[in-house]
Amino acid sequence: MSLDPRKLTADLREFATPRTGRSMWELGNTLVPFFGVIIAMMFAIDAGYYVALALAPVAGLLLLRLFIIQHDCGHGSFLRSRSANDWIGRALGTLTFTPYDCWKRLHALHHATTGNLDARGFGDIDTWTVGEFLSRGFFMRLFYRAYRHPIVLFGVGPAYLFLLRHRLPFGLMKDGSKYWVSAIATNLATAVLLAIPLYFFGIATTLWAIMPPLLVAASAGVWLFYIQHQFEEAHWDKASDWSFHEAALFGSSHLDLPQPLRWFTGNIGVHNVHHLASRIPFYRLTEVFNAFPEIRNLNRFTALQTFKATVLGLWDEEQRTLVTFREARSRRAAN
């Protein structure tokens, strides 16, 4: 059965209604365990740093889930009230080290330009075409290859993004005081929040309890974001041929994770549906599969299948597929 993205967008509106009670339950069943695990890590350090470190993945995944809730707030899909969404999002930003208003703006641009080759660079993974790569000088190609290396993409990059880049409104510095206020206020609020464990537990214990979960959440989040749009059959077009609805549905993946990973990631793996109808609350995304089962297998991947996508690096405009650097070299040799 062929899918009509525009018609599907209209059909999905029935799911785009948040349920206040459910939303607050999802916030509570994530926030309370998160603080519980962080506090447990601080006390567990007395038994040894490695005992505390064993809890870091759990705390990191809970922090990732809080980011997903913050993400829904940014789309106005968590609660009916825009103001309530924004203030919950800002509060969660102090935990996720993410200035909410800055992120909200850049993420909106990402949704508005996904798959548009003439509008890249807004809250996405930098992606060059084969032609662009082959036309650049040696050092530019070397820099891009380093940027696309998995160690940078999922290790160094996430740490830089959440610990350093988010401290200032990069990309929005000339767009008004709102984004400066967002960044600076988030920094100050996070500092005040960190002052509590610093006072009671000291610097070493606080860093040991805060940094590993943050890095786990950051790396896992970037990995999720990567596989959502970086796969062989992705969808990219020049602006003249680009369609928002087609790019949203066919240029986004369905990462089919098992439980409990689906819970920790807030169903964000159902990304083809999310990009087509971003006002659907994260806890209702899987309902769409029941109503439209034909979407389930569209650009579907399992966690293991995503490893193949991590070596992709360039968009081949002729073949209309993402390719590896080796494949790009073969094309260069052939020409």
For residue 320, being part of any structural domain is answered with no
For residue 319, being part of any structural domain is answered with no
Token duo for residue 57:
């993945």
For residue 332, being part of any structural domain is answered with no
For residue 330, being part of any structural domain is answered with no
pTM reported for the whole predicted model: 0.95
Over 60: is that where the pLDDT of 232 sits? Answer: yes
For residue 144, being part of any structural domain is answered with no
Kindly report the average pLDDT of the chain as a whole number. 95
For residue 39, being part of any structural domain is answered with yes
- CA 69 to centroid of chain Cα atoms: 12
Q: Is residue 34 very low, low, confident or very high in pLDDT (cuts 50, 70, 90)?
A: very high
Note the pLDDT of residue 223: 96
Residue 61: give the domain boundaries.
5-126+150-310
For residue 272, being part of any structural domain is answered with yes
Work out how many domains the chain is built from and give that number: 1
Note the pLDDT of residue 46: 83
Note the pLDDT of residue 333: 66
For residue 315, being part of any structural domain is answered with no
